[in-house]
């Protein structure tokens, strides 16, 4: 299998590289190759990761010519082509040699390459939830189009909650056969609650980036870690679920589960609730997205059954975590709302990490951008990108002084 890992140097990207080495060792039926990888400007780590493979990647993408030159100067990989910029990301995402694209770039920067992978009929292991938040309806349309011209792109979730739901829903073929018997009534996303699960509004008001970056159960990149602290991550995941499973916002719920062992649940018509459990380790959902429908041994350790388990579920406090209401609203209305909220959030998170705004400014900045924009129900991609730029400028304007 030829795999392109977009965002190979990040938290999901490096875990994916681990999974590829593992699969190549243990899979009796296939070889697993890193065919292409991108790493923004992280020249050193990308070189290290690429150099670990017996069959080195064919293509490497960096974001600018300086990084590409630094990579070329430092590498021993004589046959690897080095390319730069967003067009090169699109090129590797749609290269005919590539079987699977792992979309693990953070934020809106991952949008075009993820869309290109879908349009070219690839299997996409999707970590970049922002693509569905910004352009969920375009992704659905594109998947449909590849189905009708028999290229059959697939988007398989890497996000642990969505992988859990995907697993709980069961095999696609069999659920299609028994469509009427197996309809899910609710998708129940679990949320760890993040570092401020028990914090007061005042404590959140005073929170520093260092405190907000200290996630209790997951080790992730900085943007998603701040999103977890505001619970904007769960809001984005509600929107992601809406598009990924083509289900209305009203059929999605969120519960807090601080241990991050129950990754999500599905309630069926008869009231039965099926859950997926495993330790908090992204290698499992990444591997499942790569090998689906096969399940192969995974390096995620088994759940420890020798100790007492205290698995707690509790409702979300919507007052302390107003991001959730925003997420449900966006999931309900669709259109341009996702692009605006996502861009405002990315910008506000950046400003918070730079120490320019307060933690409790992030969600209101997103709400304001949503309310001030002119909603359109069926925007084109260029309109969505235009609104992305507008929302970022709006947030910067608010905090310019």
What six digits make up the tokens of 251? 């059929």
Smallest distance from ligand NAD to CB 127, Å:
3
Tokens 């950046």 — which residue?
Answer: 350
2-6 vs 100-103, strand pairing mode: parallel
How far is it, in rounded angstroms, from Cα 348 to Cα 323? 13
x-marked contacts with ligand NAD along 156-175 as a string, rule CB under 6 A: ---x----------------
CA dihedral sign of residues 92, 95, 100, 103? positive
Binding site partner of 161, from ligand NAD, Mg ion, none, Cβ cut-off 5-8 A by kind: Mg ion
Residue 107 — left, alpha, or beta (φ > 0 → left; ψ -120 to 50 → alpha)? left
Helices marked H in 247-296 — which ranges? 283-291
Identify whether the C-beta of residue 361 lies closer than 8 Å to the C-beta of residue 319: no
- Does 130 bind Mg ion (CB under 5 A)? Our answer is no
Identify whether the C-beta of residue 341 lies closer than 8 Å to the C-beta of residue 369: yes
x-marked contacts with Mg ion along 161-190 as a string, rule CB under 5 A: x-----------------------------
Q: Report the residue from 3, 4, 12, 68 that binds ligand NAD according to the rule CB under 6 A.
A: 12
- Does 240 bind Mg ion (CB under 5 A)? Our answer is no
Residues 228-287 that bind ligand NAD (CB under 6 A): 282
x-marked contacts with ligand NAD along 103-142 as a string, rule CB under 6 A: -xxx--x-----------------xxxx------------
How far is it, in rounded angstroms, from Cα 353 to Cα 256? 25
Smallest distance from ligand NAD to CB 104, Å:
5
Nearest residue (beta carbon) to ligand NAD? 10
What six digits make up the tokens of 154? 């697939």
The DSSP bridge partners found for residue 360 are none
How many degrees, rounded to 5, is the angle at CA 260 between CA 228 and CA 235? 35
Instruction: Label residues 171-191 b or e (16+ Cβ within 10 Å = b).
Output: eeeeeeeeeeeeebeebbbbb
- Does 213 bind ligand NAD (CB under 6 A)? Our answer is no
For residue 360, the Cα-to-chain-centroid distance in whole angstroms is: 23
How far is it, in rounded angstroms, from Cα 23 to Cα 313? 34
Binding site partner of 13, from ligand NAD, Mg ion, none, Cβ cut-off 5-8 A by kind: ligand NAD
Residues 58-97 that bind ligand NAD (CB under 6 A): 63
- Does 221 bind ligand NAD (CB under 6 A)? Our answer is yes
- The residue (of 30 and 396) whose beta carbon lies closer to ligand NAD is 396
Smallest distance from ligand NAD to CB 219, Å:
7
- The residue (of 19 and 127) whose beta carbon lies closer to ligand NAD is 127
314-315 vs 252-256, strand pairing mode: antiparallel
Stretch that binds Mg ion, among 66-74, 155-163, 167-175, 339-347 (CB under 5 A): 155-163
Binding site partner of 365, from ligand NAD, Mg ion, none, Cβ cut-off 5-8 A by kind: none
- Does 13 bind ligand NAD (CB under 6 A)? Our answer is yes
> Which residues lie near Mg ion (CB under 5 A)?
159, 161
> Which residues lie near ligand NAD (CB under 6 A)?
7-13, 39-40, 42, 63, 104-106, 109, 127-130, 159, 218, 220-221, 223-224, 282
């Amino acid at each position: 299998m030829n795999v392109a890992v977009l965002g190979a140097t990040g938290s999901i990207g490096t875990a994916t590289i681990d999974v590829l080495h593992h699969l190549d060792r243990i899979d009796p039926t296939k070889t697993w190759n890193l065919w292409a990888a991108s790493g923004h400007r992280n020249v050193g780590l990308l070189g290290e990761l690429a150099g670990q493979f017996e069959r080195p990647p064919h293509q490497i993408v960096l974001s600018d010519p300086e990084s590409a030159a630094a990579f070329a100067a430092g590498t021993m990989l004589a046959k690897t082509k080095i390319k730069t910029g967003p067009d090169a990301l699109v090129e590797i995402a749609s290269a005919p040699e590539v079987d699977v694209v792992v979309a693990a770039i953070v934020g809106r920067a991952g949008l075009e390459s993820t869309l290109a992978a879908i349009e070219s009929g690839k299997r996409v292991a999707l970590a970049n939830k922002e693509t569905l938040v910004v352009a969920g309806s375009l992704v659905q349309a594109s998947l449909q189009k590849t189905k009708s011209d028999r290229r059959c792109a697939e988007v398989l979730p890497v996000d642990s909650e969505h992988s859990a739901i995907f697993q709980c829903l069961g095999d696609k073929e069999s659920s299609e056969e028994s469509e009427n018997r197996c309809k899910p009534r609710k998708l129940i996303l679990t949320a760890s609650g993040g570092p401020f699960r028990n914090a007061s509004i005042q404590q959140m008001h005073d929170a520093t980036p260092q405190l907000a970056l200290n996630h209790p159960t997951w080790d992730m990149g900085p943007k998603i870690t701040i999103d977890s602290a505001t619970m904007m991550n769960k809001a984005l995941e509600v929107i992601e679920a809406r598009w990924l499973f083509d289900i209305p916002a009203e059929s999605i719920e969120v519960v807090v589960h601080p241990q991050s062992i129950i990754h999500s649940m599905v309630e069926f018509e008869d009231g039965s609730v099926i859950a997926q459990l495993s330790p908090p380790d992204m290698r499992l959902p990444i591997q499942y997205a790569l090998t689906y429908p096969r399940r192969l041994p995974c390096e995620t350790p088994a759940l420890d059954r020798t100790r007492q388990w205290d698995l707690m579920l509790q409702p979300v406090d919507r007052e302390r975590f107003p991001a959730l209401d925003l997420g449900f609203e966006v999931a309900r209305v669709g259109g341009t709302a996702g692009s605006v909220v996502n861009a405002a959030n990315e910008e506000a998170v950046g400003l918070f990490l730079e120490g320019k705004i307060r933690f409790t400014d992030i969600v209101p900045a997103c709400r304001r951008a949503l309310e001030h924009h002119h909603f359109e129900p069926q925007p084109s991609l260029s309109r969505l990108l235009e609104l992305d730029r507008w929302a970022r400028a709006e947030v910067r304007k608010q905090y310019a002084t």
